[in-house]
Amino acid sequence: MTNRSSGARSAVSGVVLLQLAVSSVAAVGDVAALVAPLLAARERGSLGSVEGRAYAEGRPGGGATAYASVSVLLLPRSAAFEAELEAIKTHSRDSPDAFVEAEPKVSAARLAFERSLIDTGAGQLILGESSDGTGAFRFQRVPEGAWMLLAWREVPHAKRPPGPKKGEAERYKMRPQVFGQTTVTFWWRPVTVRAGEEATVQLHDRNEWMTGIREDRRVPDQSKPATPQTQQGAAPR
């Protein structure tokens, strides 16, 4: 590579880093603006509540099946965050690899948004619950304003990967293999909270937002069962 090419690449990299820095500063400003009304409502005691239920609708004449242990988050509503999620969903249809990458991207985007709220001093506006045995969940003392409800349900599917071919066991013994996968179903809904009132949200199998998978990739270990790993940090606060 010539010095000129190296210099050009360095210049481009510098521009990209500068753009990312500017975007980050703008993002912090945007987050501060969107949480300000919620923090003000919290300070003056203008509070409401949000209740809901997660379930699978039954067939005609049959009852619904409750979804227990669904992770449910209430987050300040952000147009930028919602657009990012929709872009991930849209591109998840581009290829099989894109589909596999979609769930980790959604989780990474959520964690990044949570971090931006914490960095802005609004970590108390990250509200988390888990549905009970009847599929019910409830948030109390929620500041009035615009919120986004993001929920997900995980169903693991374990499998034992195929054994290595003859002569390959030693050569590829440190190569990660797929021990199964977890199906992750997402819901998201805009929620408007009004002081002294209760908003209701229904999450069921007919209004899911996106379904993705998380592969359990690891180096084979005969001493451990082939159980898909659950997502670290996914449980609500």
DSSP of 47-113: EEEEEEEEEEPPPTTS--EE--S-EEEEEE--HHHHHHHHHHHHHTTS-HHHHHHHHHHHHHHHHHH
**47 lies in a domain?**
yes
pLDDT at position 10: 39
Instruction: State the pLDDT at residue 115.
Output: 95
In a domain, 40, yes or no: yes
| Averaged pLDDT, 122-150 | 98
Dump pLDDT digits (tens) for 176-228: 555 678 899 999 999 999 999 999 999 999 999 999 988 776 555 555 554 55
What confidence score (pLDDT) does residue 237 get? 43
Q: Which of 135-149, 154-168, 179-193 has the highest mean pLDDT?
A: 135-149
Range of the domain at 54: 23-218
Q: What torsion do the CA atoms of 170, 172, 176, 180 make, to the nearest 10 degrees? A: -80
Tokens representing 194 are 């009004």
209 vs 216: CA distance, rounded Å: 23
**Per-residue pLDDT, 180:** 75
- The domain spanning residue 29 has which CATH number? 2.60.40.10
Q: Which residue has the tokens 């657009």?
A: 83
pLDDT band at 81 (very low <50, low <70, confident <90, very high): very high
Say if 126 falls within a structural domain.
Answer: yes
**Per the domain annotation, does 97 fall within a domain?**
yes
pTM listed for this prediction: 0.73
Give 40's pLDDT tier (boundaries 50, 70, 90). Answer: very high
Task: Say if 18 falls within a structural domain.
Answer: no
Mean of pLDDT over the chain: 80
Mean pLDDT of 63-82: 95
Instruction: Report if residue 237 sits inside a domain.
Output: no
pLDDT value, residue 29: 59
Number of domains in the chain: 1
Higher pLDDT, 218 or 20: 218
Q: Is 174's pLDDT higher than 80?
A: no
| 235: pLDDT strictly greater than 70 | no
In a domain, 12, yes or no: no
Is 110 part of a structural domain of the chain?
A: yes
Rounded to whole angstroms, the Cα distance separating 163 from 140 reads: 51
Q: Which residue has the higher pLDDT, 182 or 143?
A: 143
